[in-house]
């Protein structure tokens, strides 16, 4: 009888060890590059900053940016990087605080205060993006600006087509 109990414990311990090993290897495979960001954005889908770098390279190619223009864009982007990362961390922290406050049943004044902080950070992010867009457009030639407007119109048309297809699929 004692021998049977020991074997059950060995089997249980073995199962726990194998399960842990499989779970750990699954997490390593899911996040092979240890990407930056939070939640979904850690996944290899974005591959850290490579995603944005590839997008910029495609845009630079389509607009035929000069090396000087590329260098100016990179300098502008790098100039605000520390502030953007600090704001991103602050947004993450405030969202976490807000979630915890809601789960713990905090009063409405506390929730409103955290919501106001989150709103301020969101506004700052939007302002920063608008400023970056202005800086980018300032380095473009008139021909490049026209090409960019054409690309925006084409992208909007594709978006409208996808929107219509989705609407027709939902109505079926």
pLDDT digits (tens, 9 = 90+) for 36-62: 444 444 444 445 567 878 888 999 999
Average pLDDT of adjacent 10-residue blocks, the chain of 172 residues: 56 56 46 46 52 87 93 90 92 94 93 93 93 93 94 94 90 75
Q: What are the residue ranges spanned by the domains of the chain?
A: 46-79, 83-140, 142-172
Can you give the pLDDT at residue 34?
Answer: 45
Cα–Cα nearest to 81, from 132, 133, 135, 136: 132
Can you give the pLDDT at residue 49?
Answer: 60
Helical residues (DSSP H) of the chain, grouped into ranges: 2-30, 50-63, 67-79, 81-103, 108-139, 142-171
């Amino acid at each position: 009888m004692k021998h049977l109990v020991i074997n059950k414990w060995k089997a249980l311990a073995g199962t726990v060890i194998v399960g842990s090993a499989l779970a750990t290897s699954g997490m390593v495979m899911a996040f092979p590059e240890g990407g930056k960001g939070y939640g979904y954005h850690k996944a290899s889908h974005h591959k850290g900053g490579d995603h944005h770098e590839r997008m910029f390279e495609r845009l630079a190619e389509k607009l035929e940016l000069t090396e000087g223009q590329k260098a100016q864009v990179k300098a502008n982007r790098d100039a605000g990087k520390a502030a953007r990362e600090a704001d991103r961390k602050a947004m993450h922290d405030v969202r976490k605080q807000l979630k915890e406050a809601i789960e713990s049943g905090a009063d409405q004044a506390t929730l409103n205060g955290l919501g106001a902080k989150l709103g301020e950070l969101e506004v700052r992010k939007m302002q920063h993006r608008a400023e970056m867009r202005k800086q980018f457009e300032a380095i473009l030639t008139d021909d490049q600006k026209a090409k960019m407007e054409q690309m925006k119109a084409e992208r909007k048309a594709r978006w409208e087509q996808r929107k219509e297809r989705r609407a027709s699929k939902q109505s079926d």
